[in-house]
Every structure is written in structure tokens, then in C-alpha cells.
Structure 1
């Protein structure tokens, strides 16, 4: 066996660089998608919180008050 690198070592290096570039593009797309989903979840949470009715101060909260869900979905 020879300890000298073969002449095709440049192609192997280029293949690894292409793979690394594709991996970085893929991770960038995944990161952007995660941010969009996170933003959508935050927006939906805000909409749900805004749609809840405040509990009247004169009576204690019951299970029926907490079990109400929006029906317009």
C-alpha cells in the first residue's frame, strides 16, 4: 500500500464540500420552517387567549367555566 494520496483526492474533497453545502442549505430551510411554525403557534396562542372570557369576580370558578371551548372552529 502506498502512503501517497491518489490523484483523485481533489474529487473526494469537492464531493465532501458539495455535501456540506447541501447539508447547510437543508439546515437553513429547516430553521426557517421552524421559525414560521413557532410564529404561527404564538399567533394562535394569542388568538385563543384573546378569545377567552374573563371570569366574573362575584362567583367562584367552576369546572363548567374551564371546560368551555370555542365552537366556531
Structure 2
């Protein structure tokens, strides 16, 4: 009996999120060290961001732990 992955069909090969070429095992999910470094540079430049509910420049909320110090 042939085992199929969950979802019913064969898996598509992973693609590099930067250039779209097939991903290589040693650099997964990227195709090369260059694309891996480009992605890291985008994070470090602030081009990627995780959304929050805080307004820019707003101080972090005070917690009970902060008040004990």
C-alpha cells in the first residue's frame, strides 16, 4: 500500500522564499547561503516586523514584577 502524506497528494518541493528556486537541504528553506543572508539582512534592517498592539514609541506596560523592584 502506498502511503500518501496527509492532505491527499504528493508534496511539492519547497521553494526559496527569496528567489523561488528549489530549496537545498543545507540551506532550507532557502536555496543558497546568499538568499539566507539576504533574508537575515531584511530582518536586521527592520523590513520584516512582527505586528503588536503597542503604538510606536509607546513605553512597555508596567507589570507586577516591575513594581516589586
Task: Decide: shared fold, TM above 0.5.
Answer: no
Give the TM-score band, short-chain normalised: under 0.3
Q: Give the structure with the higher percent helix.
A: 1
TM-score scaled by structure 1?
Answer: 0.24
Q: Which has the higher contact order (CA 8 A, sep 6+)?
A: 2
